[in-house]
Amino acid sequence: MFTGLVKEIGKVVSVRSNAEGKLIEVSSKELLPEIAIDDSVSINGACQTAVKLTDSTFVVQTVHTSLEKTTLGSLRTGDEVNLELALRASDRLGGHIVQGHVNDVGQIIQIQSRGNNYLVTIKVSPKQMKYIVKEGSITIDGISLTVADVFKADCSFQLSIIPHTWQNTVLRNRRVQSLVNIEVDILGKYIENLLFNGARRSNGASTHNLESFLND
């Protein structure tokens, strides 16, 4: 589990294909002393496992499923990535509960300057929109952010990014049409599951009505 607070920007040193997928090697200065083999590391919001360490880098084995369902498959040598280590029991939960399970790959469709802030609009798959609510939490490339607005008609939402977040995460490299990893707030999925199962135990009509409500 993670918090969505990026602790360091790492850099991809090498990407090598193998039978399981790809071995991605990332340089790290601040977090590397805390990383051990088998530790979980969030790379742009995708939970990965460290399989090898060197004096200045760590290596993760990214499997085919992760390569297909996240932006990790498009990483190249020299790319910057957001890094966060798994939450410890003694840590403060400064962001929100983040699993490191990417639900969708969104596309940035607009970036606007608003004073010192940046308004970023991202388009996602229609099936994810029901989990995205105004002033709710969402994770973009491993960053815990608050949804500023929702545009259901075109399956998009807007974020207001403060200068510190923009400058200290890989958002500083993102442009219109850039792809980003999306993780919706897991609480929404739990609530949906509880409501759906409760209605199903009640009767079929209730289940049908609830499905229609959730899809709307």
**Which pLDDT value is given to residue 120?**
99
- Neighbouring CB atoms inside 10 A of 61's CB total 16
CA distance 148 to 159: 5
Give the CA distances from residue 76 to residues 21, 34, 175, in Å, rounded to whole numbers and listed in that order. Answer: 14, 25, 17
User: Which pair of structure tokens corresponds to residue 192?
Assistant: 């949906």
User: Mind spelling out the 3-state secondary structure of 72-134?
Assistant: HHHCCCCCEEEEEECCCCCCCCCCCCECCCCCEEEEEEEEEEECCEEEEEEECCHHHHHHCCC
Along the chain (216 residues), what's the average pLDDT of each consecutive run of 10 residues?
96 98 98 98 99 98 98 99 91 85 98 96 97 97 98 97 98 98 90 76 56 56
Predicted structure pTM score? 0.89
**Which pLDDT value is given to residue 93?**
76
**Which pLDDT value is given to residue 209?**
55
**Which pLDDT value is given to residue 201?**
64
